[in-house]
Amino acid sequence: MLRKKGEGPAAESDPRYERWLEALPLAAVALDVRGRVTFCNRQLLRILGCERGDVFGADWFGRFLPPEVRDVLRGLFEAALRDGTIAAFNEHEVLTGAGARRLVRWNPVVLPGARGRAAAVALVGEDVTEARQLEANRQLIEIAIESSGTAIAIAGSSLHLTHVNQAFLDLWGYARAEEVIGRLASAFWRDEAAAMAAAGEIERTGSWSGELVAKRADGTEFTARGAANRFDEGSGAPPRLVATFADITERVRLEEQLRQSQKMEAVGLLAGGVAHDFNNLLTVILSGAEFLGEALAPGDPRRADADQILAAARRAESLTRQLLAFSRRQVLHPGLHDLNQVVHGVSRMIRRLIGEDVTVTLSLAPEPPFVLADGALLEQALMNLVVNARDAMPDGGRLEISTALRELRLAAATSLGVTPGRYAALSVTDTGRGMDEETLGRIFEPFFTTKPHGRGTGLGLSTVYGIVRQASGAVEVHSQPGAGSIFTVLFPAKGAPAVAAPEPRRPAVTPAPAKGPLILIAEDEPAVRAVAERCLLQRGYRVLSAPDGESALRMAEGMRRIDLLLTDVVMPGMNGRQLAEAMRALHPQTPVLFMTGYTDDTALRLGIEANELRILSKPFTPDGLTAAVEEALGLAGGGSGGGRRAC
């Protein structure tokens, strides 16, 4: 092939082989015993980016090899000349004329000279820079796919899986890739028709994205968000499909919870508005029934009609209070309460209510769990849960009431819609029929019930929900058909109350003279205003009444003294709180008694919670109004003149 012509460093090639080497798609170079270039073809010049004159005669090792491999390769070269053999194939980088690097896979050959001694070394090589870079990129991609937390699957054109990563195996619950490879992609969907629809979209557009319900190896299901794209690699190779999946079961649950919460809030707004108007009507009905009953002689048969009206109105009042509890718009009277004491306080009533065929056990926390809430509403919530549990056990069973202190971390608190922290838990556990997922999704809706017609209003659990949410708490429910239910209400835990000093006794107040205190009434509902006027006038009070806040304020401006402002909270224009603030500037000493069935006024709510405001809840009776007015005036225990007749 190559042969020495003389003793000089240059070598001459047979012209036939030289043309053949020039036509090779591979790089070719020959080195003499000193490592200098005696031949190179065009392919090598292209790799090096040099002219032929820059390469011939140059020290191959010193000029075209990187420093880190230069000495090692020179040693191998010298050993090859000495021993006459050299290892086939090795890869190393060469330096181009511009100083860049190219990776070449070389096949070296020792060329013999005179007397059998090695006279030169020929190198034939292939530039594998791009190929190795592609391979490195492919390896990086494989590493990224394997280490990704996103489930990734690759399928061939027939939609049979050819590769999955560990995240895919973990998500679908398989131990080894061999259990998955070769199976149709649709086998991992619950709904094969939906999988085929996605495949059709990929066929038409080259991509698909959407949600699917997937089947795990153990048969359980979860909701996933998926995206798939078709890739054509060219060179006649069939296209491949790359798909990614993420488990969104929890997100879907939270979104459904948010939708349910928004629906409940909308229903609550409606219930609160209806209850507000209904409370005004009930105030008139209750007062009218009492007025009528008092006006009739004891033996008058019409007294029975009045009593029936009064009883029906009181039942309607109870229903309205449940609606307000659900809508979280009733007036609260919060205080610190020990849940253990709340349970003890109603335990005897619970045992009477629950029946002999249900065993009741108490499991109370050793550390008293204190909460800030309305005590009466706490008892109502517990009783509603107990009644619900009893109704779930028509054939008897076991009921457990327990309390505990629990720490809610961020994830658990977020799923319940509360802030992280320490919570007092009150749980009611039954061994009843349990509930399916569909029923669980609706149990807090007002008027939803699974009881037979006439056995319930469907407001029990919705009332619990409203009471707990209004106290910044949450309700947690676990239930399965045939496995009973656990209802847990969670309230922000509070510290034990400090021992308060006894309040000084209020001195007895002398009853007002015949011309009693002057009361200014502000109420936009004419019938309620008329009832309040009639009652107070009958008790000997002097009364001024106004249909709105602005009119009441104008009346107050012309008065030297007003003994009490009795105002509705919700009025058009100037509301009750705004009227009270304006009144303080005119008559700083005038006490204020608010009338309300519910309130959305934040400032008023804060005042109620701080026990800084006097509240008369609607609907009220004449006796209730009289008692509230006397307390506001400091007259509790005595009348205001004008007779002792209850109005």
**61-65, 145-149, 154-158, 636-640: which is most confident:** 61-65
pLDDT at 563: 92
Residues 98 and 224 in one domain: no
pLDDT in tens, 4-35: 333 333 344 566 667 777 878 899 999 998 99
Which DSSP letter does residue 558 get? T
Given a cut of 50, whether residue 332 has pLDDT beyond it is yes
Given a cut of 70, whether residue 474 has pLDDT beyond it is yes
Please give the residue that has the higher pLDDT: either 85 or 604.
85
Given a cut of 60, whether residue 636 has pLDDT beyond it is no
Given a cut of 90, whether residue 566 has pLDDT beyond it is yes
pLDDT at 133: 82
Q: Rounded CA gap, 272 and 326, in Å?
A: 9
Q: How large a percentage of the chain has pLDDT more than 90?
A: 18
pLDDT at 438: 75
pLDDT at 629: 92
Q: Rounded CA gap, 41 and 44, in Å?
A: 6
Alpha-carbon Rg for the chain, nearest whole angstrom, is 45
pLDDT at 509: 35
Q: How large a percentage of the chain has pLDDT more than 70?
A: 80
CATH code, domain with 412: 3.30.565.10
3-state secondary structure of 564: strand
Residues 119 and 228 in one domain: no
410 within a domain of the structure (yes/no): yes
Secondary structure string (H, E, C) spanning 64-114: HCCHHHHHHHHHHHHHHHHHCCCCCCEEEEEECCCCCEEEEEEEEEEEECH
Please give the residue that has the higher pLDDT: either 570 or 548.
548
419 within a domain of the structure (yes/no): yes
Residues 554 and 472 in one domain: no
Residues 210 and 94 in one domain: no
Mean per-residue pLDDT, 93-102:
91
Which DSSP letter does residue 147 get? H
The contacts of residue 360 (CB under 8 Å, 6+ apart) are 347, 350, 351, 354, 399, 400, 401
Mean per-residue pLDDT, 383-408:
87
Residues 125 and 152 in one domain: no
202: confidence class by pLDDT, cuts 50, 70, 90? confident
31: amino acid identity, one letter: L
564's tokens: 């009490």
- The answer to whether 584 touches 605, Cβ cutoff 8 Å, is no
pLDDT in tens, 336-394: 889 998 888 888 777 777 777 888 889 999 998 999 887 777 888 888 888 888 888 88
Residues 346 and 487 in one domain: yes
Q: Is the pTM here over 0.85, yes or no?
A: no
579 within a domain of the structure (yes/no): yes
Residues 471 and 529 in one domain: no
Mean per-residue pLDDT, 156-170:
86
pLDDT at 27: 92
Please give the residue that has the higher pLDDT: either 93 or 513.
93
pLDDT at 501: 45
pLDDT at 63: 92
523 within a domain of the structure (yes/no): yes
212 within a domain of the structure (yes/no): yes
Given a cut of 70, whether residue 49 has pLDDT beyond it is yes
Q: What is the mean pLDDT of the chain?
A: 79
CATH code, domain with 559: 3.40.50.2300
Q: Around 1, how many Cα atoms within 13 Å sit in the side-chain half-sphere? A: 15
Given a cut of 90, whether residue 50 has pLDDT beyond it is yes
Residues 359 and 466 in one domain: yes
263 within a domain of the structure (yes/no): no
542 within a domain of the structure (yes/no): yes
Please give the residue that has the higher pLDDT: either 263 or 614.
614
Residues 243 and 214 in one domain: yes
Locus of tokens 């990129």: 137
Mean per-residue pLDDT, 29-54:
91
Domain boundary (217, 247, 277) is at 247
**148-162, 253-267, 451-465, 505-519: which is most confident:** 148-162
Domain boundary (129, 164, 199) is at 129
Which structural domain range is residue 47 located in? 2-129
What is the helix, strand, coil percentage profile of the chain, to 5? Answer: 40, 25, 35
Domain boundary (427, 460, 494) is at 494
Given a cut of 80, whether residue 326 has pLDDT beyond it is no
The contacts of residue 132 (CB under 8 Å, 6+ apart) are 91, 103
Q: Rounded CA gap, 222 and 438, in Å?
A: 17
CATH code, domain with 243: 3.30.450.20
Pairing of strands 542-546, 518-522: parallel
Phi and psi of 97, rounded to 5°?
A: -60, -30
Given a cut of 90, whether residue 418 has pLDDT beyond it is no
Structural domains counted in the chain: 4
Mean per-residue pLDDT, 306-329:
66
pLDDT at 446: 62
543: confidence class by pLDDT, cuts 50, 70, 90? very high
444's tokens: 């807090």
How deeply is 298 buried, as exposed, middle or buried, from its count of CB atoms within 10 A (0-12, 13-18, 19+)? exposed
Residues 456 and 545 in one domain: no
Comparing 127-131, 452-456, 589-593, which segment has the lowest mean pLDDT?
452-456
**302-316, 354-368, 537-551: which is most confident:** 537-551
65: confidence class by pLDDT, cuts 50, 70, 90? very high
Given a cut of 90, whether residue 45 has pLDDT beyond it is yes
425: confidence class by pLDDT, cuts 50, 70, 90? very high
Query: Degrees (nearest 5) of the Cα angle 521, 523, 529?
Result: 75
Residues 457 and 535 in one domain: no
Residues 371 and 422 in one domain: yes
Phi and psi of 488, rounded to 5°?
A: -125, 120
169's tokens: 């195996």
Residues in the chain: 647
Q: Which residues pair with 212 in a beta bridge?
A: 224
Comparing 271-280, 330-339, 580-589, which segment has the lowest mean pLDDT?
271-280
Comparing 301-315, 361-375, 492-506, which segment has the lowest mean pLDDT?
492-506
Q: Rounded CA gap, 641 and 643, in Å?
A: 6
pLDDT at 531: 86
**CA separation (Å) from 336 to 347, 372, 423?**
20, 5, 14
pLDDT at 262: 67
432 within a domain of the structure (yes/no): yes
Please give the residue that has the higher pLDDT: either 105 or 231.
105
